């Protein structure tokens, strides 16, 4: 009986610690829970550099306008978008490299339009503000990213 209480208490402590860690790493998201859960998964896959999980968020007809130094033209379709994103993900067979600091979305805004949702947020750096927009479409398989727009603004004074 005593052993069961110790295991139960230990499990509860681990569960609470995991919930606290998830709350610290998930971006604040003022929107519908399913959209926010999708956004948290998208950001988590990107920060962990989990290629399969990240690319699973894309619709087949995704379009992306990358922020500099990405390609200046809009990239259309899964193959073109994946070819650019693969540059920041480890290649199969590469030895694991340390992950860069996680991206922490700030000023998240979710606009819910039923089967469409728009998420805008910023990525703050000391010298630059990365502005990002995700357009999501609800499909029978769940939310999918149909468009990403990235731009950056310099915060340095001239």
Q: Which two tokens stand for residue 77?
A: 């379709």
Residue 149: domain span: 2-154
Total domains in the chain come to 1
Cα distance between residue 89 and residue 99, in whole Å: 10
E-state strands within the chain: 58-65, 75-76, 106-112, 116-124, 128-139, 142-154
pTM, whole model, 2 decimals?
0.79
Cα distance between residue 136 and residue 42, in whole Å: 11
pLDDT at 27: 55
Cα distance between residue 1 and residue 26, in whole Å: 37
Q: What is the CATH number of the domain that holds 56?
A: 3.10.450.50
In order along its 158 residues, the chain shows pLDDT tens digits of 555 554 444 444 444 443 444 444 555 788 889 999 999 999 999 999 999 999 999 999 999 999 988 999 999 999 999 999 998 888 877 777 788 899 999 999 999 999 999 999 999 998 999 999 999 999 999 999 999 999 999 988 66
DSSP state letter for 109: E
């Amino acid at each position: 009986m005593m052993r069961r209480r110790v295991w139960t208490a230990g499990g509860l402590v681990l569960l609470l610690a995991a919930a606290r860690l998830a709350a610290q790493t998930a971006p604040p998201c003022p929107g519908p829970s399913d959209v926010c859960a999708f956004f948290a998964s998208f950001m988590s896959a990107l920060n962990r550099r989990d290629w399969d999980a990240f690319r699973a968020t894309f619709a087949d007809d995704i379009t992306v306008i990358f922020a500099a130094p990405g390609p200046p033209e809009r990239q259309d379709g899964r193959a073109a978008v994946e070819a650019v994103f693969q540059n920041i993900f480890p290649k199969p067979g590469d030895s694991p490299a340390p992950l860069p600091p996680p991206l922490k979305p700030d000023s998240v805004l979710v606009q819910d339009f039923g089967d469409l949702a728009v998420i805008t947020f910023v990525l703050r750096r000391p010298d630059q503000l990365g502005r990002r927009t995700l357009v999501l479409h609800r499909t029978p398989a769940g939310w999918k990213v149909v468009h990403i727009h990235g731009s950056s603004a310099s915060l340095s004074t001239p």
